[in-house]
Amino acid sequence: MKRSFFGALLACAVGCANVETEPAPPAPAVFPDDWVGQWAGECRLLGPEGERMRFRMELEIGPMHKGRGSWRVTYGEGEDAQVRPYELLTVDAAAGHYAIDEHNGIVLDSYVRGGAFYSAFSMQGNLLLARYECVGDDLHVEIATVDEQAERENELPRMTVKAFPMKAVQRGVLRRVTTASGR
């Protein structure tokens, strides 16, 4: 017995209606609004020899007001805590361009790409790439440090490619402690 095209389509529609679908993944957090709050957790400093140390890190991101908000980083705790009261500046929100003002003459350009927040800067012979990504109630932090002196330089017909030796990676997951509303 042959089924008509419409009969097959109806059978599929009825059968498909009973199939459970997985819920869509949550929408990525919108920077900086969904990131506002206090985050805290443990970070590890990893070098070629393995884990060098563990330390507590806190990041407090304040709500933006007229293109400015707090970006307060605390390393360690108690008497040994190092507090860095930086400020987040909006340069061009539509282009995902922000800056971190360290209030000491240093302003680091930062960019949102693919839902993550990036900064790249050079300091004392080191090139650092910082990456922050908000995943639910977790803030993933990774700061890679490489030696600016090229380990290998490759000359090609139309370009030079330099490879840099990796020094260390700071990596951690900070949990949301409070939101903008204090919850």
Average pLDDT estimate for 45-62: 97
The reported pTM is: 0.81
Alpha-carbon distance 26 to 148, whole Å? 39
pLDDT given for residue 6 in this prediction: 45
Calculate what percentage of the chain has a pLDDT beyond 70. Answer: 85
Residue pair 123/105 in contact (Cβ under 8 Å)? The answer is: no
Residue pair 150/163 in contact (Cβ under 8 Å)? The answer is: yes
pLDDT given for residue 13 in this prediction: 47
Each residue's pLDDT tens digit, 4-42: 544 544 444 445 555 566 776 667 789 999 999 999 999
Query: Any idea what DSSP says for residue 7?
Result: H
pLDDT given for residue 24 in this prediction: 66
User: In this model, does residue 2 exceed pLDDT 60?
Assistant: no
pLDDT given for residue 10 in this prediction: 44
Structure-token pair, residue 5: 């095209």
User: Does the domain formed by 30-179 have CATH 3.40.718.10?
Assistant: no
Phi, psi (rounded to 5 degrees) for 148: -65, -20
Each residue's pLDDT tens digit, 115-152: 999 999 999 999 999 999 999 899 999 999 999 987 88
Annotated domain spans of the chain: 30-179
